[in-house]
A and B are shown apart, each in its own frame.
Chain A
């Protein structure tokens, strides 16, 4: 069946079959591979996108259920050289190693700062606890978010 999603502000139509997830539609149908597929069980957060204002694991959203929704992926958070503050801070603090978790953390983190511009350390950790990073040990990611919120205050 055909579904219509507004992705990063652009109306997109995809021809999907029953078992397809929103993740596979983004990656395989809509040519948006920035959202990563690492566990397909909603455990690692690599596939995090924003859907109608809420962060979701796109691997757990059936494509047909995304029909009519508005989705923001990592590709929608930067505009040319104009990076989202979370992206800039992660670069500056060395919070990117292999980078496979990075798109999910950028989306989840950007979403956190929208609803809570000045989170405490524990609030940052809790908000990102669904995003597994296997490389950094999270220290540099925490420092990146503290740098972003510090700039704001």
Chain B
């Protein structure tokens, strides 16, 4: 399957190499965090608040402690260090500290000899509550100043006016990442008062910082290890059971395992923020955007998590991939008693892409213009200022190219078959194929790359040559996306050596790689691997005065002058790198400045079939053209594009957590609907390669793009099919029928 690269090494960049973790995964031998165990381990369980907002009057742990097999019951009083944790703000108690602020907030944790006893003991704890009225209206919370962040963007002339005006109000529901692997952790005492921790994570170093602070121990006594992860999509960027499992293990001196079941997982991690967005777009008669005004309210739920950064992303992508000189945005992330929200694939840009792309379609309609022509006319290009921040776009941004490419993909044949598996509603449908209406819709989505607003964003990697090959050491989390191959490919291409393995280090062995989020690891850890590989190659060639390197050794003028064993005579040779992307800055008081490190763009086209009587939708296809900078592993890119589209489709027509007065009503896979094989549309992809100004070989991260504009493309297609003015996702049958 692999073909030689230009440098001659096999398995380098640009080819579809297979995952080294693939074989253990298909045979069932890959160790996920939830698969870890030991003979002498205890099981942990969590007691949670049954109220979205309540005062903790009294807690009696004695019934749990009295149960046979129970070894420890811990509450907030047992937290030895900082009682609060949080990635950006330490605002959440490790265990309830007198007031429960969301439904399912952890109150106490139990360790027992078996799983069943641990769960029964957690339930046996007697907790007395005084229920308080939950704050569940994010608009009211924002009006009351109960916010994690407010962000104002003031750019251009507020008195500017366009001749064509469209206004709209849009909403997006709470979406769950629903990774298939549940939250899981395994803590092993090291016999010297410390712990080795294996917990599902996207960023073990930021976990480590919070864990040691809350445990009140020296940082080097705790080692966080990269564990096997069953998907993440943002849900593992914040702490879940990490501190709890560590506390239980320290308290008992025994290994402790904790695994959330699905319902607990739904309350145990942050969600995609539900949003309410009011928009006003103004354009001149030719369709040039003149002014965009918007108000955004994102419900952050009970604790901060990454709400501040999510809100900034939402605000800075209010206008999407278009030029506009006059932009005025008021954005707020509310603090409520709803489920805490944080990172999910697309990170704020998803919500405003839905709002702004719906607006662009309506503007095209008002202008009597082709919606793609309107987008091309206003398309943001390198050298242009961002409509919101005013930042000049550096690097590549092929906005028109992705629009052109997706438009050229052939459309599918009309629906001609009455096979119920091809009709909206499947076998439940009573409408014949002839009554089904088809619609086509487009959307374009822009996203920032890596961390923004002046965050000190870096990734470390160490590339080591040993006599048996090259090891790439990193603490970056492989959550399924395929960083494992990208690291190998970059090292192979730079070094010229095929034998490369990726080695996952723990927090004591290497510095942070940063989070596996923000589409950043291909560029950040990939950038570190690239720089470290260049450094190592230079070091080796210099030492032997050589001019080339491969699996046999160093060459000079075509002659082998040193074997790999010669190079490693005094032990392995290594090079360590800490890689940073171009510097970013916090926005000024008007939301202006160079806040982002780079940008990535995609376009989607959706084709849907709709049964207008029952309001049922079948998403027939979603095609995409994706800006990738440089394609390092085309097979992995295709996987990201297809998988990301499916999550965008989920938000478009299926996925929503139903929250009533702070309580999640559907925390199961029975009631929270995720696209299945039969729901899945066909997907055709086009990869656009225009190398970026940073990142290895000009590559960009593409993990989030596919999820951003797929949602509005599908909604646009349903609008085209039905003529309904759809303003909320997911689009439900009642929205289409109009009841």
Does A90 belong to the interface (CB within 8 Å)?
A: yes
Does A125 belong to the interface (CB within 8 Å)?
A: yes
Does A12 belong to the interface (CB within 8 Å)?
A: no
CB-nearest residue of chain A relative to B680? A138
> What's the minimum C-beta distance from A19 to chain B, rounded to whole angstroms?
7
Q: Contact size class for A? A: 35 or more
Give the contact stretch, choosing among B28-36, B520-528, B731-739.
B28-36
Indicate which residue in B27, B259, B645 contacts A87 across the interface (CB closer than 8 Å). Answer: B27
**What residues on B are CB-neighbors of A90 within 8 Å?**
22, 26
Does B377 belong to the interface (CB within 8 Å)?
A: no
CB-nearest residue of chain A relative to B672? A43
Contact B180 A33 (CB under 8 A): no
Indicate which residue in A100, A131, A139 contacts B181 across the interface (CB closer than 8 Å). Answer: A100
A75-B28, A94-B638 as given contacts; A99 in contact with B230, CB under 8 Å: yes
Contact B480 A135 (CB under 8 A): yes
A126-B678, A129-B678 as given contacts; A134 in contact with B28, CB under 8 Å: no
> What's the minimum C-beta distance from A50 to chain B, rounded to whole angstroms?
13
Does B455 belong to the interface (CB within 8 Å)?
A: no
Does A132 belong to the interface (CB within 8 Å)?
A: yes
> What's the minimum C-beta distance from A128 to chain B, rounded to whole angstroms?
5
**Scoring B residues 88 to 125 as 1 if CB is less than 8 Å from chain A, else 0, what string do you get?**
00000000000000000000000000011000000000
Does B178 belong to the interface (CB within 8 Å)?
A: yes
Contact A126 B421 (CB under 8 A): yes
Bound Cα distance A96, B233 (Å): 16
Indicate which residue in B182, B229, B231 contacts A134 across the interface (CB closer than 8 Å). Answer: B231
Contact A34 B27 (CB under 8 A): yes
Bound Cα distance A134, B638 (Å): 15
> What's the minimum C-beta distance from A18 to chain B, rounded to whole angstroms?
10
Contact A137 B680 (CB under 8 A): yes
> What's the minimum C-beta distance from B230 to chain A, rounded to whole angstroms?
3
Contact A46 B27 (CB under 8 A): no
A33-B35, A46-B180, A87-B27 as given contacts; A94 in contact with B419, CB under 8 Å: no
**What residues on B are CB-neighbors of A55 within 8 Å?**
none
Give the contact stretch, choosing among B13-21, B63-71, B378-386, B394-402.
B13-21
**Scoring B residues 220 to 247 as 1 if CB is less than 8 Å from chain A, else 0, what string do you get?**
0000000001111100000000000000
A17-B116, A98-B480, A101-B180 as given contacts; A92 in contact with B1, CB under 8 Å: yes
**Scoring B residues 404 to 432 as 1 if CB is less than 8 Å from chain A, else 0, what string do you get?**
00000000000000010110000000000
Does B668 belong to the interface (CB within 8 Å)?
A: yes
Interface hits, B655-684 → A, CB 8 Å = 668-670, 674, 676-678, 680, 682-683
Contact B28 A38 (CB under 8 A): no
Bound Cα distance A108, B638 (Å): 24
Contact B677 A128 (CB under 8 A): yes
**Scoring A residues 63 to 77 as 1 if CB is less than 8 Å from chain B, else 0, what string do you get?**
000000000011101
**What residues on B are CB-neighbors of A137 within 8 Å?**
639, 641-646, 680, 683
| 9 nearest A-B pairs in the assembled complex, by CB-CB distance | A34-B28, A98-B480, A99-B25, A100-B230, A137-B642, A43-B669, A74-B28, A33-B35, A97-B480
Residues of B within 8 A of A (CB): 1, 16, 18-19, 21-23, 25-32, 34-35, 37, 115-116, 178-182, 229-233, 259, 261-262, 419, 421-422, 479-482, 635-636, 638-639, 641-647, 668-670, 674, 676-678, 680, 682-683
Q: Can you list 28 A-B contacts (CB < 8 A)?
A: A39-B262, A39-B668, A41-B262, A44-B180, A74-B27, A74-B28, A87-B23, A87-B27, A90-B22, A92-B1, A94-B636, A97-B481, A98-B479, A100-B180, A125-B678, A125-B680, A126-B678, A129-B677, A129-B678, A132-B674, A133-B677, A134-B179, A135-B643, A137-B683, A138-B642, A138-B677, A140-B639, A141-B677
